[in-house]
């Protein structure tokens, strides 16, 4: 038996329950992990609330990221041994697997070693954020040295990862945040400029800090009507890449900017790449090299939660006050 977080109906954080569950032996192609830390993601809040791309089947587990120690291997698994320190890559369907628990089974293709110098807390804060940033800035954005990238929701774990990825490429990261409360920390995290959208004109500020060039890549998880404003900040032949839908309102296509700036707009899901073995191998190589060089170092939120406080951890996520990855200890 192991403690596992499950929910029996969609709703707010209060539907999450820590239950004693018998965890089966790993099936063929699976790795069983004794979990030490769990990384939280906005997608899990949406899944819990019934607002995600996948529909939960009850009782449902959840969770895309974790770090722990290999406890057992299913048949056919190679590259791992019992006792290995590993972390979990979001490369599976939430209706089939989850990471919120003391003991989990995960497909071997979604398991990776993480640097020996990292703690389990850091190990649980790697893959969702850096693979998403890689997809947007490297694979789709083709971001190059000397170019500008506008990063919205910059204090999120993905936003901070994008700042690091941009700097590792020699690009200039411009962070956007709603209030001034996080400005100093974003500058310390590597942003070249920080724009406070509640009090500043975003397109005007982007043009001012880029010498009227604009942002070659715009990296946004919010979507909704604000994309019209983002498009005004684009450089000629810029790319507007959307990786989330935090604003549930319809997202317009910024036709004027598309005509006048040859703007390219694209939404993408992380799973386009994590479920593609060749693309995932490229992402892992880029991220592993960045972690080894020190260019990529996970930023973990100052909050402290354990498994019994999982509902409070979700409330903290939905408060939007965090800075970096929220990690729950197990």
Total residue length of the chain: 330
Report d(CA 318, CA 41) in Å as an integer.
10
Is it the case that residue 58 has pLDDT exceeding 90? yes
**Which is it for strands 172-177 and 148-151: parallel, antiparallel or unpaired?**
parallel
Among 325, 329, 318, 321, which residue's Cα sits nearest to residue 300?
325
Strands (E), 212-304: 215-220, 234-242, 264-267
Is it the case that residue 129 has pLDDT exceeding 90? yes
Is it the case that residue 324 has pLDDT exceeding 90? yes
Q: Residue ranges per domain, the chain?
A: 2-126+298-329, 128-271
Helix (H, G, I), strand (E, B) or coil at 310: helix
Report d(CA 185, CA 190) in Å as an integer.
9
Is it the case that residue 259 has pLDDT exceeding 90? yes
Per the CATH hierarchy, to which homologous superfamily does domain 2-126+298-329 belong?
Answer: Medium-chain alcohol dehydrogenases, catalytic domain (3.90.180.10)
What local confidence, expressed as pLDDT, does residue 300 receive?
98
Domain spanning 128-271, CATH class: alpha beta
The confidence band for 53, taking pLDDT boundaries of 50, 70 and 90, is confident
Whole-model pTM: value is 0.95
Beta bridge pairs of residue 20:
3
Equal fold, 2-126+298-329 vs 128-271: no
Is it the case that residue 105 has pLDDT exceeding 90? yes
Tens-digit pLDDT profile for residues 131-168: 999 999 999 999 999 999 999 999 999 999 999 999 99
**Which is it for strands 193-196 and 172-177: parallel, antiparallel or unpaired?**
parallel
């Amino acid at each position: 038996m192991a403690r596992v977080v499950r929910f029996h109906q969609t709703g707010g954080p209060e539907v999450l329950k820590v239950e004693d569950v018998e965890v089966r032996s790993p099936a063929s192609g699976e790795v069983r992990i004794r979990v030490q830390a769990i990384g939280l993601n906005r997608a899990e809040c949406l899944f819990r609330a019934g607002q995600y791309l996948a529909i939960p089947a009850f009782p449902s587990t959840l969770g895309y990221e974790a770090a722990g120690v290999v406890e057992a291997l299913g048949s056919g698994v190679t590259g791992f041994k019992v006792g290995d320190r590993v972390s979990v890559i979001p490369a599976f369907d939430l209706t089939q697997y989850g990471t919120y628990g003391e003991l989990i089974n995960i497909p071997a293709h979604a398991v990776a070693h993480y640097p020996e110098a990292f703690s389990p807390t850091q190990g649980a804060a790697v893959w969702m954020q850096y693979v998403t940033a890689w997809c947007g800035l490297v694979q789709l954005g083709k971001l190059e040295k000397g170019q500008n990238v506008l990063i919205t929701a910059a204090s999120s774990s993905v936003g901070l990862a994008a700042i690091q990825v941009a700097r590792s490429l020699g690009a200039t990261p411009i962070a956007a945040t709603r209030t001034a409360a996080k400005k100093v920390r974003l500058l310390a995290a590597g942003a070249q400029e920080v724009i406070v959208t509640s009090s500043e004109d975003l397109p005007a500020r982007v043009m001012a800090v880029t010498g009227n060039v604009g942002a070659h890549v715009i990296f946004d998880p919010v979507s909704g009507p604000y994309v019209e404003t983002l498009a005004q900040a684009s450089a000629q032949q810029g790319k507007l890449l959307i990786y989330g839908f935090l604003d549930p309102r319809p997202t317009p296509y910024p036709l004027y900017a598309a005509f006048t700036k040859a703007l390219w707009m694209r939404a993408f899901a992380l799973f386009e790449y994590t479920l593609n073995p060749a693309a995932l191998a490229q992402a892992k190589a880029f991220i592993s090299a960045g972690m080894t060089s020190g260019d990529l170092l996970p930023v973990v939120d100052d909050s402290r939660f354990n498994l019994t406080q999982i509902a409070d951890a979700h409330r903290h996520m939905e408060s939007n006050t965090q800075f970096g990855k929220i990690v729950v200890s197990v």
